[in-house]
Structure 1
């Protein structure tokens, strides 16, 4: 069995997805098709990783009716969970999908109590010692005491992050992968005081090198919607950068594309694939995800086709 990956997807949502042929703000719309299901970065990542053949354990806060629906749905598909039950209801994310574009309306996250923070720490303690691979997906709920999880012993842990807020202490401890989008990357550069001269042809090399020299990040990946995926690392203190342009496809629903990319990289890492292979695998998974309505419905055969297509298209960034 593949090595278990503890996924901390602490801010889940119940997804309501409206499909429209045309969306005009201010107009009345009769929705021909509505779907509802468990969602959120951790859930999307966990279910895709499971679909690929990985072995995820998902830890998340769940509350009230929608929390129970999420738990039941994930239990039915066989995804291992370590829920922390809270008083406030799990939030709802309403998404309008129209002509390949998505408009999201996300409710505020629940506010945790001190007792619920304590429940989280006790639950995490049950798995921490036996866990080698930890993946942090997305934001923390309101009231989450991040200082308590920062105090955990990370020695021997292989940490993967798809988040930007409240992660500085994690980055300083050292991570295998930081996967963020371009907007989040610019936030990170601002926090580190790294100049952002985007007009410079050396922008990526200069900024990524500065980040990797300041923080013990093994692999840094920046996604930017339809633009190339860019991946960076230092090999014996020498910069290595690559980019890969996703192919043009007919998009059915792109919600969770980044989460699927993250799952693809986690799976590739668990299979012992190298830097370039992980980039190709993760990109292929993200693209295949966008061709179907739900992330975990992606076709493994289509992923393999895309991998074969993308292997020869990696470009080196000098």
Structure 2
């Protein structure tokens, strides 16, 4: 079973407008709401693929209740650990004219030591084969919160940034998945392969770097690979990284070799770009693209 942990869950609200112009009044063509946060998005993708998964998250207040209702309606298996604070909302504005997406992310509620301990206990109780730790840590969470979760013993995929990423390396995650800017931020090294190697020296088993439309670069103990999509895509890229993480976690649970795992992750990432909301997939694209993804070993 793949357990995803989202300490800073959210109710994702997406507004669709014709165009987004500063200092103007906009008429919203469509409003959509769903449970979100990076780990929940990963679980949604895995559920759509028929994977054995469960989403674990902290949730509280009326917004937390809305998150719980949406997860129940969508059928994504979930356990929500209650907190006293109000779950945050995130707002995405999708402008149809240029397909741009503007994100407004609230910081999240203050989490108490007891609430964090309850999250750790729940993660340990599930005994997953693969543990996915995703997104920001909410205020009040321990700085090394992801290292504490990794200590539950499962193979861990860590997808976060900044101090949470650096502190999480103490848990020796099997994979960390930063994008290029996140990688440069935490290492100060602009060469992607050198920066990824630095994270491996600091505790990561492997580093898979999101290169945006250029795919993924994996720096591992057994080699370095670049996986590229067959063609550039336009759409909503907000859930593409989460879909890639779902592919990585699924490949780990199936013990796939790195080239196969990366092919799946890149195909899922593209399928997410074509989905309307984070966590959605164009399954037809995924199945067509899977065998078209080019995976090449670096340094050979």
* Aligned-residue offset at 1:5: 1.4
Contact 2:207 2:220 in 1 (8 A): yes
How many residue pairs get aligned? The number is 295
Q: Deviations over 1:127-148 (max 9, x none)?
A: 3xx3332110111110013557
* Aligned-residue offset at 1:63: 1.1
The alignment status of 1:75 with 2:72, answered yes or no, reads: yes
Counterpart in 2 of 1:218? 205
* Aligned-residue offset at 1:176: 1.7
SS in 1 for 2:221: strand
User: Structure 2 vs 1, CA of residues 123 and 156 (structure 1 numbering), >3 Å: closer, same or farther?
Assistant: closer
1:1-318 matched pairs, under 5 angstroms:
4-98=1-95, 99-127=98-126, 130-146=127-143, 150=147, 154=151, 156-164=153-161, 165-190=163-188, 196=189, 198=190, 203-212=191-200, 214-235=201-222, 240-246=223-229, 247-251=231-235, 253-310=236-293, 313-318=294-299
* Aligned-residue offset at 1:75: 1.8
* Aligned-residue offset at 1:103: 0.5
Specify the structure having the higher radius of gyration (Cα): 1
User: Structure 2 vs 1, CA of residues 153 and 100 (structure 1 numbering), >3 Å: closer, same or farther?
Assistant: closer
TM-score by length of 1: 0.85
Contact 1:62 1:83 in 2 (8 A): yes
Contact 2:9 2:37 in 1 (8 A): yes
Counterpart in 2 of 1:193? none
Contact 1:48 1:295 in 2 (8 A): no
Structure 1 segments unaligned to the other structure (5+ residues)? 191-195
* Aligned-residue offset at 1:69: 1.1
Structure 2 segments unaligned to the other structure (5+ residues)? none
User: Structure 2 vs 1, CA of residues 121 and 221 (structure 1 numbering), >3 Å: closer, same or farther?
Assistant: closer
Q: Deviations over 1:99-157 (max 9, x none)?
A: 22210111221011233234334434433xx3332110111110013557745783742
TM-score by length of 2: 0.90
Q: Report the aligned-residue RMSD.
A: 2.2
Q: Deviations over 1:31-68 (max 9, x none)?
A: 11221111110110111011112112211111111111
